[in-house]
Structure 1
Amino acid sequence: MERDMLSCSLLVTLLLLLLLLIVNFSVSACPEADRSALLDFEASLNEPYLGIFKTWSGTNCCNWYGVGCDPTTQRVSDIVLRGESTDPMFEKAGRSGYMTGSLSKSLCKLDKLTTLIVADWKDITGEIPACIPGSLSSLHILDLVGNRISGWIPVDIGSMSKLKVLNLADNQITGSVPGSLVKLGDLKHLDLSNNKLTGSIPSDIGKLTMMSRALLNGNQLTGSIPVSFSKIYRLADLDLSMNKLTGPIPSQLGSMHVLSTLNLDSNQLSGQIPTALLSNSGLNILNLSRNGLEGGLPDVFGPGTYFSVLDLSYNNLKGDIPKTLLSVKFVGHLDLSHNHLCGKIPLGSPFDHLDASSFDNNDCLCGSPMLRTC
């Protein structure tokens, strides 16, 4: 009797262990639908050197290179594939990543994705799948920087209400900046730089009040600089350089207390430099070069002025150099060349550490470090 009871107990224990193994396996393996979608995504790409997709085998896609899953549901939540990486796989190969192909619309079947990063692979082409905004409503990060993606930004991009990072820089994207973009109320980082975007910047872009970086440089954007940028009180970095923007610089930008970097160079801006920009003690980098700015250099500098870069070159500025620049806390790189300035260059800091190139090609500047005497 005792032997029978022991055998029965042992059998029950084995059955329980087997059941636990089955349950554990079913929990640890990703859903077949997610696995299939990933394999379709992989099939549209070719990575010839590192072999990262060789890890994409077996039933548990949560263990595949660059794939992350929700620990509770095992649904695929992250795809992080960077062509520039410190991963040992890259270091061993002694090279950065290279990949061809395109982004499969099968990505849209991974409807629990919160992070989609396919960045710096240099030769991925095709368009952004139009289904992404409507299907990936949980996405927080969309980063496709450093490829050769073309086509338009999906017009309904604004429906992705949880998006915090949108980085499409260094591609070949055309069309305009979608008006729906201003609906991304949680967006903190926007980088659309170095594409082929045309048209104007949405006038109500100031609705993106959570944004800290807005990089739209290196496109073909036209129209004026929206005044509403000044309403983004968290904005620290604004780069609109190397476009075709026209009109005056909004004086309201000078009232932005968090703004530390403002690059507006290489546009077609006109009018005078707002005094509020030069008197803003928070601005650290200000580049207004290569525009059509006119008038005199505002005499608004003081002990609170701190510029690591102040570049006003290649404009139509006239008059003399304000002596109040001698009272500033710090000016590192100062470039006033290629204007119509005149008069004696003040003696003292910051002028004593600058060379003649900072003052070249003006009408009648004289004194050190210029060769022309006064």
Structure 2
Amino acid sequence: MGTIIWLIIASISLTTIVPVTACPPSDRAALLAFKAALHEPHLGIFKSWIGTNCCNKWYGITCDPTTQRVADINLRGESEDPLLQKSNKTGYMTGSISPSICKLNKLSTIVIADWKGISGIIPPCITSLPFLRILDLIGNQISGEIPFDIGKLNRLTVLNFADNKLTGRIPRSLANLSSLKHLDLRNNMISGTIPRNIGKLRMLSRALLSNNRIYGPIPESISYIYRLSDLDLSLNRFTGPIPGSIGKMSVLGTLNLDGNQLSGAIPSSLMTSRISILNLSRNAIEGNIPDVFGPRSYFMVIDLSYNKLKGSIPKSISSASYIGHIDLSHNHLCGKIPVVTFFDHIEASSFMYNDCLCGKPLKAC
């Protein structure tokens, strides 16, 4: 009798350690409901979504090798995938993102990008996915607002909603994304102000918010993001002065603030910073160009055109380490253009439409 009981226990133990070889039916059902809300007419990417095992060669789906739970959805309409290259076209898909995606609660990656026709809203339940690290929905027609509690995704490193039709404000909770490294909200219709607590995003290296309807001042707290290397706030409705603390950021290399309504003077810290691409064009910036250039001043691009700058081009500009391209046109500058070797290749158009600039490449003084 004891032997029989031991054999029963052994057989039960063996069944419990058999490795999982197929995705759970609940994950398969969630994916099929997700698929049902989309229509992809040309490439047939969903033709592989057949059979009971969604971990076995379902296009764009990756599962955890141990648990066989769906871990990644990676569907790009523009990529180097052989399926797209063979068809010699980019993808096009319509429909919407079904809330059924939220039932895949082990997801680490959601990439549904560059399909051009996917509309509807971002399912609010997406913020309940505790393991999500990448959320990339670039290049669709998604509307509505960013979920207000987006900050619950505390493992998120990439948040990319660029090239959609999002409206509303940037949620204050976004500043709780303590692991976020890449934020891209470009080319939407987002309005309101940047949350004052944005400086809490200490891991952030790129913040791209251009071509929206964001207004108000640039928060001083942005300068607290010491890893930030690329800040693009262009083509918005920002007002007020440029915080001088931005020029003291240790790794900031690109600063695009063009196409806003910024006023006040150029902070002198920007001219001696680590910034190599500086675009302040098409604002209402006034005063003189700071006469503080030195060996630390290295600019691939410096564009100060279409502002209200006055005075002369500072003589210290000749002590800059390098200036690849400069545009000072459409201001109120006056005086002689300094004779600097790196000005030799700059065209006259970069100095035109000022009050009384003279010297090479313009007419002689």
Q: TM-score range by the shorter chain?
A: over 0.9
Match of 1:308 among 296, 300, 305: 300
2:206 aligns with 213
Identity of aligned residues (%): 63
Alignment equivalent of 1:89, drawn from 83, 86, 89: 83
SS at match of 1:353: coil
1:258-337 aligned within 5 A: 258-280=251-273, 282-337=274-329
Give runs of aligned pairs for residues 62-81 of structure 1, distance below 5 A. Answer: 62-63=55-56, 64-81=58-75
Structure 2 residue identity aligned to 1:94: N
Cα distance between partner residues in 1 of 2:89 and 2:102: 31
Q: Which residue of 2 aligns with 1:131?
A: 125
Counterpart for residue 255 of structure 1 = 248
1:120 matched residue in structure 2: 114
Which residue of the partner structure matches residue 98 of structure 1? 92
The reply on whether 1:239 has 2:216 as its aligned counterpart is: no
d(CA) in 2 for partners of 1:160 and 1:123?
26
Instruction: Give 3-state SS (helix, strand or coil) of 1:317's partner.
Output: strand
Which of 34, 38, 41 pairs up with 2:34?
41
- Offset at 1:304? 2.0
Matched residue of 1:368: which SS? coil
Query: CA offset at residue 102 of structure 1?
Result: 0.3
- For residue 107 of structure 1, the aligned residue among 83, 101, 111 is 101
**What is the alpha-carbon distance in structure 2 between the residues aligned to residue 311 and residue 62 of structure 1?**
51
CA distance in 1, matches of 2:144, 2:332: 43
Please report how far the alpha carbon of residue 373 of structure 1 lies from its aligned counterpart in structure 2 after TM superposition: 2.4
Q: What 5-or-longer segments of structure 1 have no aligned partner?
A: 1-15
Q: TM-score normalized by structure 1?
A: 0.92
Cα deviation, 1:36-92, whole Å, max 9, x if unaligned, reads 000000011011111110000011101201001011100000000011111111111
- Matched to 2:160, the amino acid is N
Q: Which runs of 5+ in 2 are unaligned?
A: 1-10
- 2:327 and 2:190 mapped to 1: Cα distance? 30
Distance 2:152 2:48 in 1: 34
Q: 2-side partners of 1:181 and 1:77: how far apart?
A: 23
Distance apart, 1:23 and its partner CA: 4.6
RMSD: 1.3
The structure with the larger Rg is: 1
The counterpart of 2:161, out of the listed 168, 178, 186, is 168
Deviations 1:218-253 (A, max 9, x none): 100010000000000000000000000000000000
Q: Which amino acid is the alignment partner of residue 113 of structure 2?
A: A
Which residue number corresponds to residue 57 of structure 1?
50
List, as ranges, runs of 4+ consecutive aligned residues in structure 1 with deviation greater than 2 Å. none
1:340 aligns with 2:309: no
For 1:308 and 1:166, how far apart are their aligned partners in 2? 28
Q: Does residue 27 of structure 2 align to residue 31 of structure 1?
A: no
Q: Does 1:357 align with 2:340?
A: no
- Matched residue type, 1:352: D
- 2:120 and 2:278 mapped to 1: Cα distance? 36
Instruction: Please report the TM-score for the alignment, with normalisation by the length of structure 2.
Output: 0.94
Map of 1:145 onto structure 2: 138
